[in-house]
Structure formats: structure tokens, C-alpha cells
Structure 1
Amino acid sequence: MADGEMDTERPGINIIKTPPPLPSPLLSNTNMPIYTSPSHLPASLSPDVLLLGGGTAASVVAGRLARCTPAPTILVVEAGDNNQHDAHVTSPGNYMQHQQPGAPRLKRYVSTRASEFLGGRQAALPVAQSLGGGSSVNFMMYTRASGSDYDAWEAAGWDAQALLPCLKKFEDWHGEGDGETHGRGGPIGVGYGGWREERLMLQLEEAVVEMGYDVVADANDLKTGNAFQKWMKYIDPATQMRSDAAHRYLHPLIPTHENLHILCNTTVSRVLFSTDSLVPRAVGAEIVPSPAEHFSTEPPPSPPQTVLAKKLVIVCGGALGSPLILERSGIGGTAVLQQAGVPQLVDLPGVGEAYQDHNLLLPAFELDSTIQTHDKIFSSLSTGPPSDIPTGQMGSNALDFGGKIRPSPAQLSRMPETFQQYYHEAFTPHPDKPLAITIPIAALLAGHENFPPDSRFATVALFTGYPVSRGRVHILSPSAYAHPELDAGFLSSELDVPPLMWGYKVLREMMRRVRSCIGEVAGGNPVFPSAKVRYERPEGWTPAVVRDVVYTDEDEKELECWVRANVLTTWHGLGTCAMKAREDGGVVDAKLRVYGTEALMVADMSIAPGNVGSNTNNTALMIGEKAAILAAEYLGIELS
């Protein structure tokens, strides 16, 4: 998509000129036959394919299989609500609604146990609970993994070259650069959004160039690991609406595809198996109404219902949900199942193990009044968007510029020797792997009540791509309502702290060089004993006059304490049903079949055996496309 025209009434603000939205299958049907509770499900319905979860990958699989020849009957069971036409989902500017107390019921939180590595605090991991899963509630930040990430999975048919057709298949990409590795005409619209704060973007570009970074047209070409770019978003350029998986793969089909059925507000208790043969065969599932609260010690209000599947069951509960479904079904490690009181059907000790995530920091900086931000929108979420925001701003997520970054030799030399050795082993041979990703968000993500009404901010997100720490998630009882035992493992490896400390210093230096930056927000940054900075902008000031801050040993200790006290999940969980050899703790093979079973697959981020240096939505969409191919092969049908 070409750059828009400059808005002369608001200097520095770029509004993309788009035609009025055309009639679209996204909006064409308002009375869709989606069942809202298990009691509404027709007793006669026995689908060919049963998908247990309605998230990102599941939506792709269901949408692709529904159009196959011959067409199988499909039932998608989703724990959360239907997301169709929900403005909290479709309008990009509303995405912070999902982070507010009393937010719409589109997510739930799973609490970890208290961790000594986080200063004794618990972490809360958000889990999407809506049709479309994470694609309905994420920040819409389009980021691809590196090619070497997929090569490192070492699974047949899952290397980067083999996966490129799947990565291109779902895209309708409207970006700059040669576009050779991107797709056009796919279901997921990818563009720059309907609005950009051009002045801030140019100042950020000026700052990072002064720091020695390249600015490229496309840092998401599967091979760039150390550059900044004008950032892209899962926002359709024509409609300025979120490109979530449910609106793009499911909702357009239901009016015309009687073989596709959706059941919302329904929790999966367990998979059912036939044991007539030597290998247990998946034949259906037990389901219950989703509890009013996300977890409950009370039993379900009615006995579980049974839904049978004629040919295939696919578990799509996500990194924190799929292992729990398998364990409640008797698939998992002996000790875990015995403690939970679940008879073991298949011994797979890898279920629920090797949880991985990205470690996130969100320091905040104040900007001057020359910058238009999303602060008015985010501070008015309970009352709706204010009337005086620029046209098109609700079609943006305020993430306009960012980068994948690696340390320079000089920066690396100042990091601990143990980390330097690890870096040379894990990163030096793979220049496409970023150590971290950073992107300023033109708004304060915390509460605005302690600041003047017209205050303007940038929250600079930074997350590390390949933490070494591992966690685990397991059931404590057979109940689908019970809270699991969860240890996220954050910062349990000493190798995970230096990248966060280095990354914070990089983003701090970037913001010190941004002309409109007034200073650091108190409470949103460390309080250094000596490495304090002043933000003075005399006439004729340029980023070139800024010199990097020198940190003392006391400053380093303060920064480490702050990192441990403030590190967060990035909503990027994966790895708990890993695709690798069974003897190595694997749960599924390269065709996503659960070891020791028949007619049972897993298709979501839980199958990723190694991390990806990116936001995970892109990989989840790819897994959905790949899983659809594998499921069609299993069923003996042909994808359209």
C-alpha cells in the first residue's frame, strides 16, 4: 500500500486515504448458526472432524477443511464467546480493552506459582478465550520468525523452505520491499493501518540510524535479524479492521457451508477413546459449559455431554490448554496423572513440559505536545473513543516503527562471559536471529489517572526472542474447571537476564535521541544511583550530540533488580506438546499425530519444539495452514 497524503491540518500525522469499506463477507451475515452452549448442540451431530479449541490455528484448519472436496462435516468447540462483529475485536484502536479490569470476556488469566527469580512474585499469563483466539485480542503486531528458527525444529517438512508456501498462503500483504517471500490474496490482510504518527516515526528512524542501525523496507523477509523498519500490522488496508483468524476463515463460510458448525462457551473435559485395538483411537470428547468464572472449584452444573467424531479429533487448546486436555484424557507423565487421579492411557512424560515464552519489558517515556498518541483513546476506554481524534486513528494500533536487534561486538563484550559464550554458540552462526525485538507504542499502557489530561507517552516494548528458561503446566485434578499447576520458569536461567538489561539500555538510548521525548516516566523505569540522564533540547539540538550513558556496578545491580521485578509474559507461550522424537520428550510427530494414539492430532503453538524470534501469531497461522494440509492427507480429501 502506498503512503498516504500528509494531513495539513495536523502536521506530522499521516492518514492513509482509503475508499469506504465495500460489502464484505466479514459483515454480510448477522444471524449465523453458531451454538452458544452445549445444550444447544443437535444430538444427531456427529462430525467427521472435531476441533477442540477455536483459536488461531483451529480457525485456519476448520476454514480450509470446510472447503475441501469431498467436504467433511466439522465441529469447532470454543471455550469463549463468538467474536463476530464485536467492536472490541474488529476495531484496532480498541485492543487495550482486553487489558482493563472488568474487560469483555475475551481472555482469562492463569497464575503461576511465586518465583524466587521474580523477587517472590507470581506472574499472570493471559489466555485468549474467544473464537479466533489470540488473533482476536493481540496487539496486531506483524512479525515473522527467522528462517533458521524453523530449520532448528529439525522436523521433516517443517524447515523454512518447506514452510514458505504456508507462510505466503494466508497473507494478503501490502508492504514495501520486493515482497518475494510474502503472499498476496490470502485471507489475512497485512498493512500499515489507517493512520500513522509520521513525526514520531521519523524521529525514531533518525535516532536508530545515529546509533548505527540500518532501516530497511522489510525486516520480516525470514533472513533479516538486525534492522528497523516501518512496522506492519494485522489490519486490513481496505477496511481498517483487525485481520483475525475467525473473521477471515470461519465467519465468511458459515452462511454457505452447512458442513461447518461452531459451538461456543463450551469447555472440553477430555478426549474419548476406543480401546478395541492395541492403539487407543480418538472417537470424540466430553464437553461441559464454560464456567462463569474462568476457574472454579465447583463441579459443572450438569453431567458432561458427549460429542463423537467419525474420523479425526484435533486438539487446539493452545500452549496452556492442549496439554491439560491431553492429561485429563489420560495422556501424560505417570507421576502427574497419578497425583491428579486420572488413569493413564498413554505414557507421554513430555506433555505439559518445556513451556517457553518471550520475556517482556514495558518502560514508558513522556512525549511533548507535538506528537499525536493513542493516550486519549486508551484513557477513555470505558466511555468510547473521544470525538477529537484524527480520522482513521481507530484503524491503528499505534505501533508504527520497530526493529529486530542484536548486540554490537562492543556491547557484547560488556555482557557476562557466560552469556558471551552462549551467544557465540546460539547466535553468531545465525545472523537472522534477533536477540530482542523492540517497538515503541505511542501511548501509555498503564493508567493515566496520575497525569494531566493531555499528557502524551510512548511505551517501548522490548522482548527477548529465545529465553533459555523452561517452565511447565500440569493438571491437579480431572476437573476441566480446576486451575492448573503452572510454573512459567521466567528468568530461572542466568542467561536470560543479560539480554533484557542490554535491551533496556538500547531502547533508553533510542528514546534519549528522540526529539520529542521529554523524559522517563517515574515508576516505569529503574531509578539509577548514578546513571541519571537529563532530556534537554536546546536550539539546534540533534541526536548526534548524545553520548551513551555509562553504568556503574551499582547501576547494573539496580537494573537487574528492576528487570526481575518488572518482566512480563509476551503472550507467546509454546512448546508444551512438542513436535520431536518421543524419546526426547516429544508429544506429536512431524504429522502432528499424538504418539501412542490413532485419529488424534494437536495443532497450535504448543507443538513448536523451539522458540521463534517474533510475535507468535504469524507462526500460529502457519501451523494452521500446515495442519490443514496434514489433516486433509489423513482424511484422504483434497484442499481447494
Structure 2
Amino acid sequence: MSNISNNSTNIPDEVDIIVAGGGAAGCTLAGRLAAADPSLSILVIEAGINNKDVPNVIHPAMYLTNLVPGSKTATFHLANKSEKLNNREAIVPVGGCLGGGSSINFMMYTRGQGIDYDDWKTEGWTQKDLLPLLQKTETFHRTDPGINKAVHGYEGPFHVSDGGYVSKNFQDDCVRAAAETGLKEVPDANNLSEANGMQKWPKWIHPTTGRRQDAAHSLLHPILESNRTGLQALTEHKVVKVLTSNGRAVGVEYAPNLDTQTAIPGTEVLDAPKVVKARKYVVLSSGALSTPCILERSGIGSKAVLDKVGIPVVSEVPGVGTNYMDHNLFLTAYNSNLPEHESFDPFLDGRRDFMAEVEEFSKEDGSKRIAWNAMDVAGKFRPTETELATTPESFRELWKRDYESRPERPLMVTVFGPGHVGDHSMLPVTQYMTAAIFLSYPYGRGSIHITSPSVNDKPDFDCGILSNDWDLEALVLGYKRNREIVRRMKSFVGGAESVLLGPKFREGSKGSRWDYPTANGAVTEYDPEDDEAIKHFIRDVVATTWHSCGTCAMKPLEDGGVVDGKLNVYGIEGLKVADLSIMPSNVSGNTYSTALLVGEKAASILAEELGIEGF
């Protein structure tokens, strides 16, 4: 019998531990425990498909194909319409296969700041506590002088490298231009303290195999394929709810995922939801948009929400589904003069064939571009005093309170790539470049709640993007800083006519000018109408960064918390949450590193409680 299947007839009636969700944290948790104690029977239930050797998962350059409509590796959540987004309905994709977001993300190796974890104010979760776990996850291949090796790991299952290819001239150009604006190159912007520096960015890509470093391939599949394990994975099935008895989690109810079926027996679709019991634990690891919904369908949440949908309260935990956070992202795009071999665009417009590049990679002297994500340059930055002086007084007040005396806290992350990641179907076939910004610690908050007891009904999802005006003002600063870098780059063709995606300034305004000298330190000027044009553009395009978190926060129950420092759900024994929903506040960076960290920490907590020695 295979240890991984989409057929529930292969699943036992009872196991020791159920992990509801096979994303980054769930795979890490299950993999670590299964490796430490092969006698444990552990069942991972994943709503998506098996990701094993799926080409657009394992080959880095194919990552954007996971986000096209109809994708079988992503799940798309539609948020409520928002006036703050010019009446748009934000679409938030999450991982829709084994490995979760780690199977489809952009592979940027970005760690939060150490103080981010201190800010969680939870015993056992400070940066000092968590550094050994961060090190445990990774094999860090960068050897640049100036890197503090003491903050990185060198024996973990997840490899961090430059990948197979970079656009070196673009990197050099961007780093030089950023330095001219005051954003200097640093050896390591992921040392847990650097908050104002640019870097040629590392990636979650293996340096020799060229493969994506997702949690399923790196940890779960090797164990599933071994002959000595109690680990099993059931794919293409959704967990409906947690079953409880006398205040304890005793199992889950699950059902086929009607959106991802590939070869599930037709008779199973007609069956009533199935049940699997848990002798020791149920761990919810379905992500910030699904875990709170599972809790609410289980009768765990706000009484007002549960009463509205007719679900009896099992444990009143009002914070379930609140505190939703995401990093607010927007892109600008420009015509570039990059040669074709230094651009990612040929992958996106069809000039460069993915499978041909896979074959090339296998040749000793062949191209290594298939192991490239084009996220070649990025940085974390804080605004200058001059930039702060252009912001409203209300913005400066919060800056003074939350940032001024904390130099390790960046305002945002900036990213530059040699290509246009948008739709190429209506564009001239040529080369482009992209500049992106995402806000490190947005003040806006959203929520997600069920609208019925059914696992298939759309939830009430408020993404919260730009719900706080401070966030918009911060993104305006980000646009202006990125623009100063772009207009100093030799890769930029130059002129307003070469702005492919950006604000629409009125003719003759200060902000419309791109043609004056850029090497003399001059800074673009803007008038109030220009600022409004920037804000309108941001409202039109700002979107998710695929970093959903916070909806089952780890903090006291009376403060809106859902789990305690041991990840126990309040009021229910034997039930834990282990995914990014537990984050009480945000981290400055792509969240994959933190998801792995949560999985590692959850595994250590369970190992201790289970009495597994030498973990």
C-alpha cells in the first residue's frame, strides 16, 4: 500500500496524529516527527494534489504558471469588494497542492527581523529561542565576505543559493543605482537585523540540482517513500471540521475536494463525509484562510459568528478569523534595453521553451536558466529624514512611536527583476524590467469567517488591504524611492513613454518628468496632484503578497488570541494550530522562512509532549 494517495479507502480509521493541511508548516511538522519516531502513525490530509515531480513546481523558472486561471496547484480566494481598492475584489492565491505555498511561491529567501519574533511577546518564541530552529531548516550556500555565519544554518534540508542563473549585469546596475539613492549594498540583508540595505538576493533553489526547495520534496516525500514509517498523506480531500468529545479533539471529518479530483473513485463523491480518529493530537495546518474556517465549522470561534450560521458553540474563542494580515504589494514595470539572454521575458512570452530549458540544464555545458526565478535584487529600507518630511503629520507620529527608536525595523521590502511578470499577450515582444514594493508591517487588518456549515461555501473575507491610511502613505514613499532607483539604472530605456505600468500624471506636472539628468543626485519633485495620482494608481493595483497570516493569533484569549505558546487552541485539549495563522504580528519578509520555523517549533513542542528523546 502506498503511503500517499488521493483515495480515502487507503486511510485507517484511527491514527496517532492528524495534520490537517500539507503546506510548509504541516510538512515540516509531520516530517520531523515521523523521522524522529517511525512508530508514530501520522496522517496528513491535504486539500490539493500531490506535487511530486510536477514540472511547474520543481523547476523554478516555471513558477508563474502556477498562478494562471484554472491552475491545479493554487487555490484562489476572492475577497469582498473594497472602496479602498477602488471597488476591486482582491484575489488572494494560496498553495493548492502538497507543499502549500512552498510549492508555488517566488522562492525569495527572506527572513524576518529578529525583533519581529520578540514582538510576539510569547515565552519560547523570542529570536534567541528560534534562531537554532531557523538554522536547523537551512543549508546556506552563500560565502560572501561579511556574512555572519553564526545566524545561518549549514546542515538543513532546505538549500539556499543563487540558483542556476542570474542576470549579473542587471544586478550590478540595480545595486549601483540604489547606492546612488543612499540604499547601500550589504552582504546579508537576512541576518535578522539589517533593515536598510540592498542585496543580490539569494533563493530557495538547490545550487546543483536546480530544483525548488519546497517542504514536501525536501522533507515529506523522502519519508513517505521509505519502508519504515508510520506517515501517510491523503491528497485531494478537505478537512470539514474537528470532532470533539468532552472538551477534547478526537478526530476530524473530511470529504473529497470537488475542485481538484483527478482519479478519485466516483462512488466516493457520493458518500457522506468520512471520519478519522486521532489518539493523541489533531493539528490544524491549513493556512490563515482555511484554518479559522475549520475551527468555526467545529464550533470554535465567536458566538455571534457561530449563531449566525447555526453551529453550536463548543468553545467560545472570539479571535478566530480576526487579525488577518498580508503584506501589501504593488509593481511598476518599464521598457528595458537588456539583451534577450539577460531577461526573464522570453520565458513569459513564449520565446524560450520551458521543457527545452529543462533538457539544457541536464547538459554539462547547457543553459541553467530553468533554475532561475529572476528575483535577482532586493532590499529592506527605511526612509530618510527628507522623505519623512514629505509625509503627513499623522504618518510621522506613528513612525516616531513604532520605528524611530528601532533601527532594526524596516519600512518595506523592495524587489527588482529583469522582466515583466504581468500578461505579455498584448505587449510587444521585447525586454522589460519590474520594480516592486511590499510593506513590512501594515496597520490594516482584515478577517475571514464562514457563511454556512458547508466546506464548499464561500467565506466572508475582508482582506483589509489599505484599510488604514498609514499604509497608503507608506506605499507612496515606496513608489518614490523605487522610481529614484529606476531612473538611475542604465537598464531603463528612459523617458515617461517607457513606463509600462505606473501612475498616470497630468501632462506637464513635476511627477511626469523622467528626462532630466539622473547622475547628479537630483530627486524627482511632486506636487499634491502628483501624490493623488500615485495614490490612485496604488489603489488600482495594490494586491496580496501571498503572505496571509494572523487569523488564529498566538496571544492571550482576552486579547483576541486563539492559541497559547504551546499552540493549544483555547478550550479544547489535544487540538493545536501550526501555520502562519498563529502570527500575532507581522514579519518583514516573505513568509516561507517563518512558515518553516512554525513547523519546526510545533514539531519540537509535540516531541517534548510525546516524550520523544533526542529530538
CA distance in 2: counterparts of 1:82 and 1:293, whole angstroms? 10
Partner of 1:402: 378
The CA deviation string for residues 150-177 of structure 1, in whole angstroms up to 9 with x for no partner, is 1010000101111100110000001131
Amino acid at match of 1:192: D
User: Offset at 1:449?
Assistant: 2.3
Determine whether 1:60 maps to 2:35.
no
Residue of structure 2 equivalent to 1:583: 558
* Per-residue deviation, 1:510: 0.5
AA aligned to 1:444 is: H
Report SS of the residue matched to 2:307. helix
Distance, in Å, in 1 between the alignment partners of 2:277 and 2:255 is: 14
**Contact preservation (8 Å) 1:48, 1:74:** yes
State the distance in 2 between where 1:485 and 1:444 align. 33
TM-score by length of 1: 0.90
- Paired residue for 1:10? none
Contact 1:629 1:639 in 2 (8 A): no
Separation of aligned partners in 2, 1:382 and 1:493: 42
Counterpart-to-counterpart distance in 2, 1:386 and 1:446: 23
- Say if 2:181 and 2:521, in contact at 8 Å, map to a contact too: no
Contact 2:325–2:446 (8 Å) recurs in 1: yes
C-alpha distance in 1, partners of 2:437/2:51?
A: 29
Which one-letter code corresponds to 2:222 in the other structure? P
Q: Distance in 2 between matches of 1:436 and 1:282?
A: 40
Task: Tell me by how many angstroms 1:522 deviates.
Answer: 4.9
State the match for 1:27 in structure 2: none
- CA shift, 1:638, in A, is 2.8
Match of 1:534 in 2: 514
Q: Offset of 1:546 from its aligned partner?
A: 5.3
Distance 1:570 1:37 in 2: 33
Alignment counterpart, residue 594 of structure 2, candidates 619, 630, 634: 619
Determine the C-alpha separation between the residues in 2 that align with 1:417 and 1:86. 51
Q: Which amino acid aligns with 2:613?
A: E
Distance in 1 (CA, whole Å) between partners of 2:151 and 2:461 is 38
Distance across 2 between alignment mates of 1:37 and 1:591: 33
Partner Cα separation in structure 2 for residue 396 and residue 214 of structure 1:
25
Structure 1 residue 594: deviation in Å?
0.4
Aligned position for 1:111: 78
1:232 equivalent in alignment to 2:202: yes
Q: Distance in 1 between matches of 2:425 and 2:36?
A: 53
d(CA) in 1 for partners of 2:614 and 2:326? 33
Separation of aligned partners in 2, 1:212 and 1:384 = 38
SS of equivalent to 1:312: strand
C-alpha distance 358-639 of structure 1, shift in aligned 2 (>3 A): farther
1:401 maps to amino acid: V
Provide closer, same or farther for how the CA distance between residues 74 and 470 of structure 1 changes in structure 2, counting only shifts above 3 A. same
Identity %: 40
**Amino acid of the structure 2 residue aligned with 1:306:** V
Partner in structure 2 of residue 33 of structure 1: 3
Aligned-pair CA distance for 1:383:
6.3
Deviation string 1:164-223 (CA, Å, 9 cap, x unpaired) is 001100000011313210000100000011111110111111101111122111010001
Tell me, in whole angstroms, the C-alpha distance in 1 between the residues paired with 2:191 and 2:563.
29
CA shift for structure 1 position 265: 0.2
The farther-off stretch of 475-484 and 515-524 is: 515-524
**What's 2:264 paired with?**
none
Distance 2:236 2:92 in 1: 20
Which of 368, 373, 376 is the matching residue for 1:392?
A: 368
Q: 1:117 to 1:94 in 2, by over 3 A?
A: same
Match of 2:112 in 1: 145
Post-superposition offset of 1:302 = 2.1
Q: Does 1:441 align with 2:417?
A: yes
Within the alignment, does 1:219 sit opposite 2:189 as a pair?
A: yes
* Alpha-carbon distance in 1 for matches of 2:571, 2:614: 27
Alignment pair present for 1:334 and 2:308: no
Shift of 1:69: 3.8
Q: 1:483 aligned to 2:458?
A: yes
Amino acid at match of 2:49: D
**Letter of the 1:508 counterpart:** R
- Structure 2, unmatched stretches of 5+, are 262-267
Partners of 1:340 and 1:126 in 2: CA distance = 26
Q: Does the Cα contact within 8 Å between 1:65 and 1:71 map onto a contact in 2?
A: no
Which residue of 546, 563, 571 maps to 1:571?
546
Residue pair 2:60, 2:370 contacting (<8 A) in 1 also: yes
Q: In the alignment, is the contact (CA less than 8 A) between 2:420 and 2:432 conserved in 1? A: yes
- 1:23 alignment partner in structure 2: none
With over 3 angstroms needed to count, the CA separation of the structure-2 counterparts of 1:637 and 1:244, relative to structure 1, is same
1:307-326 maps to which residues of 2 (within 5 A)? 307-326=276-295
Secondary structure of 2:150 counterpart: coil
Measured in 2, the distance between the counterparts of 1:184 and 1:45 equals: 40
Give the letter for the 1:207 counterpart. A
TM-score, length-normalised on structure 2? 0.93
Partners in 2 of 1:404 and 1:126 — Cα distance? Answer: 24
Q: Could you tell me which of 233, 256, 262 is aligned with 1:289?
A: 256
Indicate yes or no: 2:301 matched with 1:343.
no
SS at match of 1:568: coil
User: For 2:62, which of 94, 105, 111 is the aligned residue?
Assistant: 94
Q: 1:601-620 CA deviation, whole Å, 9 max, x = no partner?
A: 00000000001111011100
Q: Residue 464 of structure 1 aligns with which residue?
A: 439
Partner of 1:374: 344
- Which residue is 1:4 aligned to? none
Query: Is 1:181 matched with 2:151?
Result: yes
Quote how far apart the aligned CAs of 1:545 are: 3.0
Would the alpha carbon gap of residues 535 and 93 (structure 1) be closer, same or farther in structure 2, given more than 3 Å must change?
farther
Displacement of 1:236 in angstroms is: 0.8
Say whether the 8 Å CA contact 2:67–2:74 is kept in structure 1: no
Q: Which runs of 5+ in 1 are unaligned?
A: 1-30
Runs in 1 of length 4+ with deviation above 3 angstroms?
381-390, 519-523
Q: In 1, Cα distance between the equivalents of 2:196 and 2:123?
A: 28
Distance 1:588 1:230, change over 3 A: same
Match of 1:17 in 2: none
Q: Report the secondary structure of 2:524's partner residue.
A: coil
Q: Is the 8 A contact 2:13 2:275 kept in 1?
A: no
1:199 matched to 2:176? The reply is no
Residue identity in the other structure for 1:165: P
Task: Give CA deviations for 1:15-74 in whole Å, capped at 9, x if unaligned.
Answer: xxxxxxxxxxxxxxxx95311132x333x4421110000000000001100022473110
- More divergent stretch after superposition (576-585 vs 360-369): 360-369
User: Does residue 1:512 correspond to 2:487, yes or no?
Assistant: yes
**2:134 aligns with one of 167, 185, 188:** 167
Deviations 1:329-368 (A, max 9, x none): 0000001001112111000000000101110001101111
Paired residues of 1:512 and 1:546 also in contact (CA < 8 A): no
SS at structure 2 position matched to 1:64:
helix
Alpha-carbon displacement from aligned partner over 1:235-266 (angstroms, at most 9, x marks no partner): 01121110000001111112223311010000
Check 1:314–1:639 CA distance in 2 against 1; reply closer, same or farther (3 A cut). farther
* More helix as a share of residues: 2
Q: How many residue pairs get matched?
A: 593
- 1:325 is displaced (CA, Å) by 0.4
Q: Is the 8 A contact 2:49 2:260 kept in 1?
A: no
What is the distance in 2 between the residues matched to 1:65 and 1:451? 50
